[in-house]
């Protein structure tokens, strides 16, 4: 151990070429792992990404008393039968936002949960009022004391819930608790993201009755009859989108394998609007997307929206690409008001970006220059890596623990495509 915090060293200007295979979806994995305790019987999850968030959730489950092993083949066996601790402490909740899913799963299974207010990326205020509103509507008594959400219920009873804002986290959390409630719960104005559907599929495989996931009305008929199951996680749409953007940004030629094309429609459409060649294919085993580019992209405008709109998680990587587009791009961030932490870093590379509230105007320039950079959150880290891959000369990127939270073997996958990226420290 050198004692120096790890960082990436990147020599930019190399075209990405070749094939990359996408891993399991982070945002599905971090919901399905907490959901797995709902049956009170062993479950096996497959195709989990090897990312820090998954390791943290494994530690949280172990601290509760569950027997968990995460094997090198990406399978996790979870036996929740010995769980006797219903709390998630600040130490554990502070690094990942998805720790909030234990609120729904512990409450649903044991009628009791104490969860430190979640951490995760600093990209806005990120309240959890809609989660709490949902738990209360199901009959739980919820208080927040000294940064800990304490929820209790002798019995949960299904209810009609309208979300005031489309929230992925609140939709999933309410689904988890409602699975074990008595009677029917309806979530109106629900989020439609692929990981909402994925969690519903997992719950249904455990014997739950969740209908309508993927639309804005979800109905859950609660039951006590859940059982263990084996479930394989879908590919990560944001990892796929990140590689698509990185390929386009380096004027590359990359085949991105193991994707679900319908989950990528918004990013495919935007890249095509930029003039990038995007083709979909099926090699008989899995779907792939082929990205090819040989010139500066055209400027485009982007508005982030709940699924199926353009995902906020790809806003930052896309801004890196647009820094060298021909013309001016306008990017409106509608989901997280402070998701512009990467802008100051991109400017230090020469990018010409003007911020006005939730809107960034990016005036395309010929090329970025490599400088020392600092990742401020997960997707900002991905954006800076893309910018450094495009830039002239050497960049370093510190604070890469954020990147490790959500991207599996990122630098290995990039190196296999020809990038000059090293993990240092
Ligand atoms: C999830 C994803 C994250 C993605 C985001 C939007 C996970 C683990 N994370 O985050 O990668 O960027 O969806 O697609 O899946 N809000 C409230 N009150 C609430 C809950 C949310 O006001 O109780 C607001 C948020 O501040 C935000 C908006 O609703 O402005 C959407 O947030 P939400 O969909 O809940 O995002 P997360 O679940 O935190």
* Closest C-alpha among 74, 69, 50 to residue 59: 69
Residue 293 lies in a domain: yes
As a whole number, mean pLDDT of residues 59-73 equals 95
Q: Is 312 in the pocket of ligand 1 (CB under 6 A)?
A: yes
Nearest-atom index, ligand 1, CA of 307? 14
As a whole number, mean pLDDT of residues 360-387 equals 97
Confidence at residue 1, expressed as pLDDT on a 0 to 100 scale: 45
Residue 1 lies in a domain: no
Residue 91 lies in a domain: yes
Residue with CA nearest ligand 1 atom 32: 167
CATH number, domain containing residue 79: 3.65.10.10
Where in the sequence is the domain holding 319, given as residue range(s)?
7-23+235-424
- Mutate which of 56, 97, 130, 167 for ligand 1? The one with the most ligand atoms within 8 Å of its CB, which is 167
Confidence at residue 124, expressed as pLDDT on a 0 to 100 scale: 62
Confidence at residue 110, expressed as pLDDT on a 0 to 100 scale: 96
* 121 classed as catalytic: yes
As a whole number, mean pLDDT of residues 38-42 equals 94
Q: Is 161 in the pocket of ligand 1 (CB under 6 A)?
A: no
Q: Of 213, 232, 251, which closes a domain? A: 232
The answer to whether residues 96 and 170 belong to one domain is: yes
CB 406 within 8 A of CB 53: yes
For residue 16, the CA-to-ligand 1 centroid distance in Å is: 32
Confidence at residue 337, expressed as pLDDT on a 0 to 100 scale: 83
The answer to whether residues 104 and 161 belong to one domain is: yes
For residue 367, the CA-to-ligand 1 centroid distance in Å is: 34
Query: What is the reported pTM?
Result: 0.96
Residue with CA nearest ligand 1 atom 19: 128
Task: Please write the tens of the pLDDT for every residue from 114-152.
Answer: 999 876 556 566 789 999 999 999 999 999 998 899 999
For residue 357, the CA-to-ligand 1 centroid distance in Å is: 19
Mean pLDDT in the chain? 95
* Rama region for 386: left / alpha / beta (φ>0; ψ in -120 to 50; rest): alpha
Task: Please write the tens of the pLDDT for every residue from 116-126.
Answer: 987 655 656 67
The answer to whether residues 214 and 321 belong to one domain is: no
The answer to whether residues 196 and 319 belong to one domain is: no
Distance CA 56, CA 59 (A): 5
As a whole number, mean pLDDT of residues 25-50 equals 97
The answer to whether residues 228 and 240 belong to one domain is: no
Q: Is 171 in the pocket of ligand 1 (CB under 6 A)?
A: no
Q: Of 181, 215, 232, which closes a domain? A: 232
Which residue is catalytic, options 43, 121, 179, 229? Answer: 121
* Closest C-alpha among 220, 195, 198 to residue 209: 220
CA torsion 253-258-260-265 (nearest 10°) is -10
The answer to whether residues 149 and 36 belong to one domain is: yes
Task: Please write the tens of the pLDDT for every residue from 297-324.
Answer: 999 999 999 999 999 999 999 999 999 9
Distance CA 200, CA 353 (A): 40
The answer to whether residues 267 and 382 belong to one domain is: yes
**Distances from the Cα of 97 to the Cα of 53, 64, 66, 86, angstroms:** 9, 18, 21, 17
Residue 2 lies in a domain: no
Structural domains in the chain (count): 2
The answer to whether residues 196 and 246 belong to one domain is: no
Q: Of 216, 232, 248, which closes a domain? A: 232
Distance CA 244, CA 278 (A): 9
For the range 145-150, what are the long-range contacts, defined as Cβ-Cβ under 8 Å and sequence gap of 24 or more?
147/90, 147/116, 147/117, 148/87, 148/90, 148/114, 148/115, 148/116, 148/117, 149/103, 149/113, 149/114, 149/115, 149/116, 149/117, 150/113, 150/114
Q: Which residues contact 299 (CB under 8 A, 6 or more apart)?
A: 274, 322, 325, 326, 327, 328, 329, 362, 364
The answer to whether residues 219 and 257 belong to one domain is: no
For residue 335, the CA-to-ligand 1 centroid distance in Å is: 8
Task: Please write the tens of the pLDDT for every residue from 225-241.
Answer: 899 999 999 999 999 99
Q: Is 314 in the pocket of ligand 1 (CB under 6 A)?
A: no
Per-residue pLDDT for 419 more than 80?
yes
As a whole number, mean pLDDT of residues 261-275 equals 98
Residue 255 CB neighbour total at 10 angstroms: 19
């Amino acid at each position: 151990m050198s004692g120096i915090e790890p960082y990436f060293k990147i020599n930019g200007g190399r075209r990405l070429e070749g094939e990359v295979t996408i891993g399991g979806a982070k945002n599905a994995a971090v919901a399905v792992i907490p959901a797995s305790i709902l049956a009170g019987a062993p479950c096996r999850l497959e195709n989990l990404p090897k990312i820090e968030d998954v390791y943290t959730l494994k530690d949280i489950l172990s601290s509760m008393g569950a027997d968990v092993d995460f094997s090198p083949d990406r399978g996790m066996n979870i036996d929740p039968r010995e769980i006797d601790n219903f709390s998630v402490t600040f130490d554990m909740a502070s690094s990942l936002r998805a720790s909030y899913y234990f609120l729904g799963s512990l409450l649903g299974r044991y009628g009791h949960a104490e969860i430190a207010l979640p951490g995760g990326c600093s990209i806005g205020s990120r309240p959890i009022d809609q989660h709490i509103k949902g738990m209360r509507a199901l009959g739980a008594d919820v208080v927040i004391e000294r940064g800990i959400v304490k929820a209790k219920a002798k019995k949960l009873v299904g209810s009609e819930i309208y979300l005031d804002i489309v929230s992925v986290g609140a939709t999933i959390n309410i689904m988890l608790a409602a699975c074990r409630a008595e009677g029917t719960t309806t979530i109106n104005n629900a989020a439609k993201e692929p990981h909402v559907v994925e969690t519903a599929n997992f719950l249904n495989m455990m014997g739950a009755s969740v209908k309508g996931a993927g639309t804005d009305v979800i109905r859950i008929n609660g039951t006590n009859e859940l059982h263990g199951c084996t479930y394989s996680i879908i590919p990560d749409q944001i990892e796929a989108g990140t590689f698509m953007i990185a390929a386009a940004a380096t004027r590359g030629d990359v085949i991105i394998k193991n994707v679900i094309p319908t989950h990528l429609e918004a990013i495919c459409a935007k890249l095509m609007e930029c003039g990038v060649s995007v083709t979909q294919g099926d090699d008989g085993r899995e779907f792939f997307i082929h990205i090819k580019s040989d010139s500066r992209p055209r400027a485009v405008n982007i508005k982030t929206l709940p699924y199926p709109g353009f995902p906020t998680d790809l806003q930052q990587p896309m801004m890196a690409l647009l820094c060298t587009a021909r013309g001016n791009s306008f990017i409106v961030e509608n989901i997280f008001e402070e998701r512009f932490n990467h802008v100051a870093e991109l400017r230090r590379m020469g990018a010409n970006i003007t911020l006005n509230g939730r809107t960034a105007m990016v005036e395309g320039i010929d090329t970025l220059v490599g400088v020392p950079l600092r990742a401020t959150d997960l997707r900002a880290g991905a954006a800076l890596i893309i910018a450094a891959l495009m830039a002239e000369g050497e960049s370093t990127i510190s604070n890469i623990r954020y990147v490790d939270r959500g991207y599996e073997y990122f630098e290995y996958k990039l190196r296999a495509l020809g990038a000059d990226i090293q993990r240092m420290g």
